[in-house]
Amino acid sequence: MVDLAPGVTILQGRNGLGKTNIVEAVEVLSTGTSHRVTGSLPLIERGQTSATIRANVTNITNPLAQESTAKSTTESVHTRNTQVSTASPSAISSAAQSQSVVENGSISPVINPLGESSELTQPAEPTIAEPTTTAATITTTTYELTIAARGANRARINGGKSTYLRDVIGRIPSVSFTPDDQRLIAGDPAGRRTLLNQAGALLVPGYSDRLQMIAKIARQRAALLKQLGDPRNSATSESPYGYAPSPADAALQGLEIWTGQFIEAGVTLTRDRQRLVDLLAEPFAAIYRELAGRDERVRLTYEPSFDEVLLYPDDPQPHISEHFQRIYPGEVARGQNLIGPHRDDLSIELNGMPAREFASNGEMWTMALALKMALHTVIVRERGVRPIVILDDVFAQLDESRRRQILDFAARQDQVLITVAAASDIPDVTDLAGATGGAAGGADVAADGQTGATAAQLHIIDVADLVRQQNEYLHPDLAAFGIEVNS
């Protein structure tokens, strides 16, 4: 059980205790995915059938701040009682109902916290108003996610009827910085697609629905391609009514239908992703120049598999259909969808050259930081929300200059969750909160003279102590209560 207060919380403990599980629960609640894994199964503790995340989110709207802002609404959100049950093998506890509880942590505002429409809010128009003493509006919403080993993941809002996971994700925005971020530049395209999908879940209404739909269509289409490639399905059979069509004939008819749906859904998703890249490209370049120097130039571009969407923006579908006809023999031979959004990528250039080939290790780290900071900037601009910032074990990977850069960024946020494995990796408390010393075991550190939410308090929590408290709760000493246990 862990309490998170507004500001900065540092979770410190050796590897394997479950630090990442706590912040991962927030990330999954926010985006529906984890930076650590590509599927849902690793999120569930070995031997269990599901994992559950529960969060009571308090939304605080400040009318005074709203009156003075031109581009955003000003709110703050506090998570209260985020519970993670039956988490992954590295969870805090190996018990069947292991829990971590997040209470009173400032998450900075969610859109539609009471479960209404998930449409993006429009930026507030500039207003000039007389000072008022109107009190802030406070609402609390309970979110519950159930991640299943088999079957659909489910969600509930305020204890209501069971709904889909996609109906909840995106309401509590977050941006995670992780040791794997460098792979966004030099790694395979899957990591960059995950970044796009997380951005889409937070910024584009209906994106998660469309992503899930096209994944389903792609599976159906791939199954038909495998049937067509199986020589056993090509023979016709005799019946009392003549020769019956072969299984391949039926598969071919189905393939035509599924291909049409795949193209339609893929065009929509491609346009969504192009919009996301357009939003990210300018702040990414600006932030990188600020971090690396005014003479440095980076460029972010979208490389869609359905490039016909960019070449023929008015009506790309006939051209994509022709493309599928040309590659049909190869798709049947391999039993795979050879083109589609599942093969999209991002291109990142440094001073006109491919960054993955020419950038140094330090330059890749700086580009990765700039890319995540750009996502944060876009969320603030488009939604009027400052997301939760998650720094998962990144300080051991960074040199002093980049530690300073990310700490400066974190110090301006409403809520920051930091995990570190060793006490030596804990950033200087004065860097974040202006205090004169550190604290351990869950103690608070005052932050005088600082601006922003992090000026309130900084908390350093010993995760080993959390494990001990949880084990005592789950497996109490009955003798202490006067209960005799027969061996």
CB atoms near residue 47 (< 10 Å): 10
Tens-of-pLDDT digits for all 487 residues of the chain?
A: 566 777 888 999 888 888 888 899 899 989 988 877 777 888 888 888 899 988 877 776 655 444 433 333 345 555 555 555 544 433 333 222 333 333 333 333 333 333 333 333 333 333 334 444 556 778 888 899 999 988 888 999 999 999 888 888 888 899 999 988 989 999 999 999 999 999 999 999 999 999 999 999 999 999 999 999 888 776 554 444 444 556 777 888 899 999 999 999 999 999 999 999 999 999 999 999 999 987 889 999 999 999 999 999 999 999 999 999 999 999 999 999 999 999 999 999 999 999 999 999 989 999 999 999 999 999 999 998 889 899 998 887 788 888 888 888 888 888 899 999 887 777 775 555 443 333 334 444 433 333 344 444 678 888 888 888 888 887 887 777 777 766 5
Residue 112 CB-density burial (10 A; 0-12 exposed, 13-18 middle, 19+ buried): middle
Task: Using the CB atoms, write b or e for 226-248: b if 16+ within 10 Å.
Answer: bbbbeeeeeeeeeeeeeeeeebb
In whole angstroms, give the CA distance from residue 182 to residue 13: 24
